[in-house]
A = this chain, B = another copy of it.
Amino acid sequence: MDVYISGIGMTKFGRSKESLETMMAEAASSALKDAHLERVDAIYIGVMNVEEFVGDSNVATLLADTLGLTGVPSTRVETASSTGAGAFETAFYAVASGHLKHVLVLAGEKMTHLPTAKATRILSEVIDRSERRYGATMPALAAMIAQKYSREFNLSPMKLEDILAQVAIKNHSNGCLNPYAQFRKMITKQDYLKSQMVSYPLRLYDCAPITDGASAMILTSHPTPVKVSGVGHATDTAAVAHRTFFTSFNSTKEAAQKAYAMAELKPADIQFAEVHDAFTLFEIIGTEDLGFFAAGEGWRALDEGVTQLRGSLPINPSGGLKARGHPVGASGLAQLVEIVYQLRGEAGKERQLERAEIGLAHSIGGLGNNNLVTILERADRKKTLKAGTSPSPEGWSPDDRCEESIPKRSIPSPPLMGVGTLETFTTLYAVPEGFRSPLTLGLVRTKEGAVVMACNPDYRSPSELRMGGKVSLNTREGLYVFEKLSFWNRLMHWLKK
């Protein structure tokens, strides 16, 4: 059964004095009003970690009751930071089953009332325990991926900096036009360069902010102007170190394949997209993983203005997570709300895109390991796009781009020691509670071919470290420790051979 969207709603994102329930009730009420509905057959609630952010459990019930929808079945859904999209997917299947006619998806998070260190600690719990215990935070892992990207595609540190700044500048510029965005001010490259280093090379302006907010949507089996054309969802290894590739997300690629196949569309058919930019580089990687640009070419498209609001493939017209803000549970659904605004032509004179018949939203859960891709289209769009095309997108062969054999999660034992190669590294300045700042973390490839997270407690300067360089790998207090291989180490190593 086909599924349509009959109502949308959201709160202004930002720092709110309201409770989570009040914000979510505001978003839900707008969506119900928009759909001309007073009651629904079911509610799907997307909140990521309401237990620790707010101290409540049983929130699905609490919200049904708060909305005046006491009695209506209500289920909480969670897929880490893609929760809003996960709740949407769950609701999509419920309506597609034919058992439910009108379903409310309601997503939100309340975060700003906590001290940043505590919020960071809660957010870090999405990271695999094997990496979290090194003090790895989301920005630290994203920073290591950014470093690796610059090496793999030959970007100088200055060029990388320039590209990351461009993502932030573009999304802030778009955010200015979005009345629901947390940040509605332009930023310059100077502002970007002045912002504090969070985890080298990522600055504060590379990271989506801590935000309160809620978004809502009504899904229905009754035809409306906006149709759900495809949903796709995939996971990846819990630990980043267990992956084969570090500069793309397999979970995005697999989710995209499924969404394109269901929609019978190819990447070239997508006219605009909301791409998960919790960290600036993730937007660029996202546009590659989604098949819009070849691997390593996403930054060039950005550089050439293709992804600007008035470019040929606008990315994050809403301002993205960067400028709209990132209430973790709500973001995945807020992206879809933006797509509906655009498809309906209701995005406002300045933000409205000219070509807005097919839009895509891409949401990342955790560090790229629970991702969803959703495609919406105008129900009245001319189907000429489909003529003569197969579900397999042109110039984009899924099999080439996805890892064929997905590595199993396994920690080698006994521990791997000796000389290894430093795949990537970062120096983290905003460390979690209980760790000393700055903290240098790296991914080290051992001679056996395994990759492990390791720390460098005798930090001097990141400039001494080099990706691809040789490092010694040892264990200390149950953690892997890496050190730049000194002349003496090298000699000893050579003598042992």
User: Which one of A162-170, A405-413, A458-466 is at the interface?
Assistant: A405-413
Give a binary string over A56-76; 1 marks a CB under 8 Å from any B CB, 0 the rest.
111011101110111111111
4 A-B pairs closest in CB distance: A73-B233, A96-B97, A58-B126, A57-B125
Assess whether A366 is interfacial by the CB under 8 Å rule. Answer: yes
Assess whether A285 is interfacial by the CB under 8 Å rule. Answer: no
User: Which one of A4-12, A86-94, A301-309, A392-400 is at the interface?
Assistant: A86-94
Residue from B73, B80, B92, B407 in contact with A58 in the complex, judged by beta carbons closer than 8 Å? B80
**Which B residue sits closest to A44, measured CB to CB?**
B90
**Which B residue sits closest to A408, measured CB to CB?**
B68
A366-B125 in contact given A71-B406, A96-B98 (Cβ < 8 Å):
no
Closest beta carbon of chain B to A84's beta carbon, Å: 12
A71 and B370 within 8 A (CB): no
Give a binary string over A367-389; 1 marks a CB under 8 Å from any B CB, 0 the rest.
00110000000000000000000
A57 and B68 within 8 A (CB): no
Assess whether A51 is interfacial by the CB under 8 Å rule. Answer: yes
Cα A466 to Cα B408 in complex, Å, equals: 63
B126 and A65 within 8 A (CB): no
Cα A56 to Cα B56 in complex, Å, equals: 16
Closest beta carbon of chain B to A229's beta carbon, Å: 13
Assess whether A40 is interfacial by the CB under 8 Å rule. Answer: no
Q: Which residues of B contact A242 (CB under 8 A)?
A: 65
Q: Which residues of B contact A250 (CB under 8 A)?
A: 71
* Contacts of A240-275 to chain B: CB distance below 8 A: 242, 250-251, 254-255, 262
* Contacts of A1-20 to chain B: CB distance below 8 A: 1
**Which B residue sits closest to A50, measured CB to CB?**
B51
Residues of A that sit less than 8 Å from B by CB: 1, 42, 48-49, 51-52, 55-58, 60-62, 64-66, 68-80, 86, 89-90, 92-94, 96-100, 122, 125-129, 233-239, 242, 250-251, 254-255, 262, 365-366, 369-370, 406-409
Residue from B78, B89, B128, B406 in contact with A62 in the complex, judged by beta carbons closer than 8 Å? B128
Cα A250 to Cα B71 in complex, Å, equals: 8
A62-B93 in contact given A79-B76, A125-B51, A129-B56 (Cβ < 8 Å):
no
Cα A100 to Cα B90 in complex, Å, equals: 12
Cα A76 to Cα B233 in complex, Å, equals: 13
Q: Which residues of B contact A64 (CB under 8 A)?
A: 235
Cα A484 to Cα B60 in complex, Å, equals: 37
A70 and B235 within 8 A (CB): yes
Q: Which residues of B contact A48 (CB under 8 A)?
A: 57
A57 and B80 within 8 A (CB): yes
Residue from B57, B73, B127, B406 in contact with A49 in the complex, judged by beta carbons closer than 8 Å? B57
Cα A72 to Cα B122 in complex, Å, equals: 25
Q: Which residues of B contact A42 (CB under 8 A)?
A: 233
A73 and B126 within 8 A (CB): no
A61 and B75 within 8 A (CB): no
14 residue pairs of the A-B complex, CB under 8 angstroms, read: A1-B97, A48-B57, A58-B238, A60-B80, A61-B238, A65-B369, A69-B235, A70-B406, A74-B370, A75-B79, A93-B99, A93-B100, A97-B97, A97-B98
**Which B residue sits closest to A370, measured CB to CB?**
B61
Q: Which residues of B contact A73 (CB under 8 A)?
A: 233-235, 255
